[in-house]
Structure 1
Amino acid sequence: MIKRFLPVALFFLAAGAHAGTDPSVSLHGKRFSTEFATTDDQRELGLMNRKAMDADHSMLFVFTDDEPRAFWMKNTLIPLDILYFDKDRKLVAMQLNAQPCQTDPCAIYPSGNRSARYVLELNGGMAGKLGLKLGDELTVDGNWGKVQ
C-alpha cells in the first residue's frame, strides 16, 4: 500500500520547497494556476460541468503509476488541450482542442502507446499558442499543502 502512494507523496514533498505560493505549473515560461486531481474521485470529476476556465488556469491529474492514459470529454463543456507527461514531467503525447461530448458514445483521447503519470488540461488552443512540442518539460510549484 505504501509503495502505491509513495510516488505521489514524493511529488508533493519535492514541490514543497515552493511553499507559500499558490499551486501552479509552467510550460514554455507561461505560468498557470492549477487545481490538482490526485484521488480517483477528483480525477473522475475533472473539469466536468464548467462553463468556462480562465486562460491562465489548468488542472493537473496526478497518478501513482506510469501507463498509457485515455481521457474523454463526457459532461465537459469547454474545449481542452490534454497534455500527457511521463514520470520525469516530459511531454509525451498531446490531444489538442478536444471538443465537449454532445452525444454518447463520447470520443476517447488517448496518450497512444506512451505511458503518462501526469496529465495537464488547458483551455483548447493554448498548447498551440505556446508552441508546445514533445519533450517539453512541465514545471510544478506552489503550496502543496492545499491539495493533499
Structure 2
Amino acid sequence: MRMEILPLFAAAALAACSQGTASEGAVAPSAGVAEAGRTHPVSGLEVIPLTVRTAGGKLHRFDVEVARSDFEQAKGLMFRTELAPGEGMLFPYDPPEVASFWMKNTVIPLDIIFIDPKGRIINIAAQTVPYSTDSVVAEGKAGAVLELAGGRAAELGIAPGDKVSW
C-alpha cells in the first residue's frame, strides 16, 4: 500500500470489508495467462498478464490486478487473506517516482518488486512483515511496482536486473 495516499486509507478500509479467495494459478512458461479486460472477483480491478524474464532466460507468468487510481493504490492488497502463487498486483506510475510502500492492514507477507521505467527490476523487498508501518522504498525511480505472495521472487529466482513486461 502506498504511504503517500494516507487520506484515502479510511475510505479504503471501509471498502475492503469483504474478503475473498483468490483462484489458484500455476506459474510456469506454459501456464494460462489472463486475457486483458478480465476483472478480479474480489477487487473488481482489471486483470492482465505479466511476465518476468530472469537473467537466465526463464519466463514466469502472472495474472495481476492493476491498481491505477490513487484510491486503488492506497487500498492495494489490504485485508486480503490469500494471494495465489500465480497472482499479483501491479501499481503503474506515470510519471515514474521513488515509490514508498508499507504493510499497514496487509494481512499476508508480500514480495514488493520495484520496476524501473524500462521494465527492469530495481530492487525487491522480500517477505515484508504483515501490518508493519515501516517504509519499503525503491532504490530509484519506479515506473511500476509489483506485489507477489511473500517468498515467490526467491522461489522463482526473480532478482534485480530481471525484465518485467505487461
Q: TM-score range by the shorter chain?
A: 0.7 to 0.9
Higher relative contact order (CA 8 A, sep 6+): 1
Tell me the number of residue pairs that the alignment of Structure 1 and Structure 2 aligns: 117
Q: How does 1:1-148 map to 2 (within 5 A)?
A: 21-22=35-36, 23-28=48-53, 29-101=59-131, 106-112=133-139, 114-140=140-166
**Separation in structure 2 between the aligned mates of residue 74 and residue 46 of structure 1, nearest angstrom:** 10
Q: Tell me the secondary structure at the aligned position of residue 88 of structure 1.
A: coil
Quote the offset at 1:81 in angstroms.
Answer: 0.2
**Separation in structure 2 between the aligned mates of residue 62 and residue 38 of structure 1, nearest angstrom:** 6
Identity of aligned residues (%): 32
Q: Tell me the secondary structure at the aligned position of residue 63 of structure 2.
A: strand
Gaps of 5+ in 2: 1-33, 37-47, 54-58
After TM superposition, the runs of 4+ consecutive aligned structure 1 residues lying more than 2 A away are: none
Quote the offset at 1:139 in angstroms.
Answer: 1.6
Quote the offset at 1:30 in angstroms.
Answer: 1.3
**Separation in structure 2 between the aligned mates of residue 24 and residue 99 of structure 1, nearest angstrom:** 27
The structure that is strand-richer by fraction is 1
Q: Structure 2-normalised TM-score?
A: 0.67
1:35-68 Cα offsets, whole Å, 9 max, x none, are 0011100000000000111111000001111221
Q: Structure 1-normalised TM-score?
A: 0.75
Letter in 2 for 1:125: G
Give the CA RMSD over aligned residues: 1.4
**Separation in structure 2 between the aligned mates of residue 44 and residue 67 of structure 1, nearest angstrom:** 15
